[in-house]
Amino acid sequence: MPSRLTKTLTSSAAAAAVGLTLFAAPAAAQEAEAPAEAAAETSPLIIGHRGAAGTAPENTVAAFKDGRASGADFFEIDVQLSKDGVPFLFHDDTPARTTNVEEVFPERAKDPITSFTWAELQQLDAGSYFGDKFEGERIPHLDDAAEAATLNTGVYIEIKSPKNSPGVEQLVADELRTDAKWKKLVAADKIQVLGFDEASNRKFAEIAPEIELQQLSSTVPAESVLESWATFADSVGTNYRTLTEQNVADAKAAGLIIGVYTANSPEAVQHAIDLGVDAVTGDFPIQTMRYVDGRKPFPASTGIQIAGAVNNPAGDDVQAETGEHVVLRNSADHSVDASGYILRDAANNILTVGEGYVLEPGAELRVYTGPGTNSAEAYYNGGDANVLNNTGDSIALWSPQGILQDVFAN
């Protein structure tokens, strides 16, 4: 099945020159020299994951606006159906991680998100978990994404956990065909539907064969499976950490566009580009667009960078003194006060740097999740549960003023 996206793969939209802070709206940032590791001349499609989940609360209008401001080709959303059949945008199966459900509905924090009515969902705050600036952000309706999208930045619509939302395929197809804003985006080839559930994807393909469709998979399967997917899908999306050059070749041989998720650091993005992928989805579309356009992704960096992370040390992850940790390094030619800097992973776990940590040029600081004895080279958060995924994680570094400094992935 030939993909309608192929005609756009060699034209990357210009990114907005913005330096995003956690506490202020995007503002024009000073242009900077291109990074040493310049991106490829022909850029893949760039997609903001859950809007722009690295710089705003995921699957909220604020995140969609960041995705749009980046100039990315698309931003991605996750659609489910409420108990009373309203299409809403939310990733998890339960509301606990990203809402204040424990305050509003104390007994329902672990209930399926699809067991809530639309009116109940609108009582939840879906922004405060990310920062005070986003207090009051609500769980959006599907149509809120169309309101935020443009003919430059379209929408990837992931059908999330379709077994929990019976009939979601038909509802999404009907909305794309009947709502004026969605119809305009469809006509401009700025819509793609995607999902992990093959049966759901096949159902959607039967209902709406005119809509671009992507099969998601944590790994690229055998050639015979790819050939089967090519009978109903236009593309395949997979985890960039598991992708190989052979996987890319196999997908393209089957006639499928190949994309990856969730590549957040410039190094991860470049790795995907080097493998020859056609699309890259990530939580930081503003920074990724700056990178692929040959500009510094973090123009407001003070020089403190993430030099590495030990996600899975020998022994317990939060054992005293030697547990999991992130390594910060001062790459500037002057001392920098790292006190109060924040490390945030993709699931919104947070580590902080204590007071009094002034790093000289080239100096490193290990920031631990668990307990230990603080020193000039180590700060311990004293946590009793691991934060970093043992198989690899994405970690963002923020200044105390809420300015994004760096993104690391391993």
Angle at which helix 168-178 crosses helix 198-207, to 10 degrees, equals 40
pLDDT value at residue 7: 32
For β-strands 45-48 and 74-81, DSSP reports them as parallel
Q: Decide if pLDDT at 213 tops 80.
A: yes
Q: Where are the beta strands (DSSP E) in 249-363?
A: 257-261, 279-282, 304-310, 325-330, 336-337, 342-345, 350-352, 358-359
Statement: residue 21 has pLDDT above 70: no
pLDDT, tens digit (0-9, with 9 covering 90-100), for 56-77: 999 999 999 999 999 999 999 9
107 phi and psi, to 5 degrees? Answer: -90, 0
| Closest by Cα among 251, 50, 279, 284 to 160 | 50
Amino acid identity, position 317: D
Instruction: Say which range, 12-16, 273-277, 290-294, 383-387, has the weakest mean pLDDT.
Output: 12-16
pLDDT at 41 over 90: no
pLDDT digits (tens, 9 = 90+) for 223-270: 999 999 999 999 999 999 999 999 999 999 999 999 999 999 999 999
Q: Are 358 and 303 in contact (CB under 8 A)?
A: no
Residue 18 has pLDDT above 60, yes or no: no
Q: What is the pLDDT of residue 19?
A: 34
* Spatial contact of 271 and 291, defined as CB atoms under 8 Å apart: no
Whether pLDDT at 30 is above 80: no
Q: 11 or 125: which carries more pLDDT confidence?
A: 125
Alpha-carbon distance 48 to 31, whole Å?
22
Q: What is the pLDDT of residues 183-209, one digit of tens each?
A: 999 999 999 999 999 999 999 999 999
Residue 13 pLDDT > 70, yes or no? no
pLDDT > 50? residue 10 = no
Quote the CA–CA distance of 106 and 132 in Å, as a whole number: 21
Strands 342-345 and 74-81: unpaired
Say which residue the tokens 């690899």 belong to: 392
Q: What is the pLDDT of residue 38?
A: 42
Distances (CA, A) of 341 to 173, 344, 380, 405: 45, 10, 13, 9
Average pLDDT over residues 23-48: 53
| Cβ atoms within 10 Å, residue 335 | 13
Domain 4-292, what fold?
Answer: TIM Barrel (3.20.20)
The pLDDT tens digits for 80-104 are 999 999 999 999 999 999 999 999 9
- Numbered ranges of CATH 2.60.40.1260 in the chain: 304-409
Q: The pTM is what?
A: 0.91
Tell me the average pLDDT across 372-381. Answer: 98
Per-residue pLDDT, 15: 34
pLDDT at 321: 98
**Mean pLDDT on 145-151:** 98
Alpha-carbon distances, residue 310 vs 74, 338, 398 (angstroms): 33, 20, 19
Residues 374-383 have a mean pLDDT of: 98
DSSP state of 242: G
| CATH class of segment(s) 304-409 | mainly beta
What mean pLDDT comes out for the span 351-379?
98
What was the pLDDT predicted at 43? 84
For the chain, the first-to-last Cα distance in angstroms comes to: 35
Where along the chain do the CATH 3.20.20.190 domains lie? 4-292
